[in-house]
Each structure stands twice: as structure tokens, then as C-alpha cells.
Amino acid sequence: MKVVVAAAGKGTRMKELGFDKPKHLLEVHGRPFLEYLLNNIKEAGFTDIIVVGGYKIEKVQEFLNKYDKDIVLVNQREKIKDERYGTTPPIEAVVDLIKNEEFIFLSGDNLYAPEDLKKLGDCEGFNCLGAHISDHPELYGVIQKNNKGGLEKIVEKPLNEIGKQISIGAYRFTPDIIKEIKKVDESERGEYELVDAVNMLAQKKPVKVVEFKKYWFDFGKPEDINILEDFLDEEHIK
């Protein structure tokens, strides 16, 4: 099964740290953050990996040349000619590689535990999204379930608390997602949002909610480097 890792963004929240390299390559304990994610993907049993790059993609290529030359690197900016931004373009950029297969899609600035990633591998024949319980759901997309326990919709950054289970940028998709992505319009933020496609998909097909219980880390701000280093030390993750 193919695993697609989105790593095309600049990472503006990382401020000056991301000027000369993508945020996915910022070092944590002297190693690129992306290395930890790829290690966990492999530990979960997945070896057919595609990384979608864009900003400073030559730096990503240099890293992959040293880390694992078998990982395929796709240039989103070459594939998406109209320079659209958001979370749907990385998938659009690999449609020719995915073809009619199921695939796993992961945000490249999130760290997921191997044990949890394996759950997506077991979700054969269904669209599934990874979920996590957060103490600050207002900062993320909150999951609303239907009466069957599947996804009803994802509500982005709700003003009032409607639940604590959030979407964390980890999915397993059937080819049905491609049809919905093509219908997504530009959002108020000026981006093409994968959440919109997932919400449309959930109205037509079952989307299972898979809870990630081991750990999950959102790597987005400068202070996250030290926080993640402490976390890795505590969990004895190398």
C-alpha cells in the first residue's frame, strides 16, 4: 500500500527557522523532523512511500538521497500548474501514481505512532480518518459522528465546544476521494481544503473514525522543537 506524505509547505508559523529549508527538515535532536515520521511509517510496515514536496524541494531531495533513495519525491509545483495551495493539491499531484488504488495520506508535519499507523493499514476497503482526543479542540477540526459511529462531518475550529475528538491529518482513502477533491472550491483562506472533500465524501460513503491512542504530535511552531525533544526523551524514541 502506498503512503503519501504531504511536505510541500513552507511552514510560516516556524517564522525565520523555515526560511532556508522546509519546516519538515528542521532538526530535532540533530535530525530532520521528517526522518522521525518516515521511521515510524516504516516501523508500521509500509515501504511504498511517496513524499510530495514544493518549497525548497531540492533540500528534501538531498535528505532523501541520504535517507532512502527508494522513496519517490513528487514536485507539487510541477504537477499543479495553477499554483493552488492547501491540503488537496498534494493528493492531486500523485493521482497518476495512485491510479485506482487505496492509499494512506499523512500530513508531513505531524508525528504519528507506528502502532496507530498500523490501524490505517487494517482499514481495508474503507475510507478512514485518524482521530485524537485533544484538550484544545478549538484549535483543530473537530469530528462529529453520525448515529452509526462514522464521520458525519469535520467542523473546523468551532467557537463553542462540540467535542474533543479531532482530525489529525491521517487518512486511508479509496479512489472515491479523488472525485470529491475535484469538486472542492477555494476556501475563505484562499486554499483548497481536504476537509471539504472529506465532508462531501462522508455524505455518500461510510468514513470510519479510527482513534489514535498511542501518541500524536503537531509540529508547527518554533517552541515545538524543544517540546518534541523532551517528548522523544521521555518516550525513548530514537
DSSP letter string, 93-126: TTHHHHTT--EEEEETTEEE-HHHHHHHHT-TTS
pLDDT in tens, 92-104: 999 999 989 999 9
Which pLDDT tens digit goes with each residue over 170-222?
999 999 999 999 999 999 888 999 999 999 999 999 999 999 999 999 998 88
- CATH class of the structural domain 2-233: alpha beta
Question: What number of other Cβ atoms are within 10 A of residue 224's Cβ?
Answer: 20
* Percent of the chain clearing pLDDT 70 (strictly above): 95
Would you give the distance in Å from CA 155 to the centre of its chain?
17
- CA 31 to chain CA centroid, Å, is 20
Average pLDDT estimate for 158-167: 93
The structure's pTM equals: 0.95
Mean pLDDT, to the nearest integer, of 44-65? 96
Helices (H) and strands (E) in the chain — how many of each?
9, 13
Domain boundary assignment for the chain: 2-233
Per-residue pLDDT at 35 exceeds 70: yes
Torsion of CA 187, 97, 63, 223, to 10 degrees: 30
Segment 13-29, tens digit of pLDDT? 554 455 578 889 999 99
Measured from the Cβ of residue 234, the count of other Cβ atoms closer than 10 Å reads: 8
Q: Which amino acid, one-letter code, is at 111?
A: L
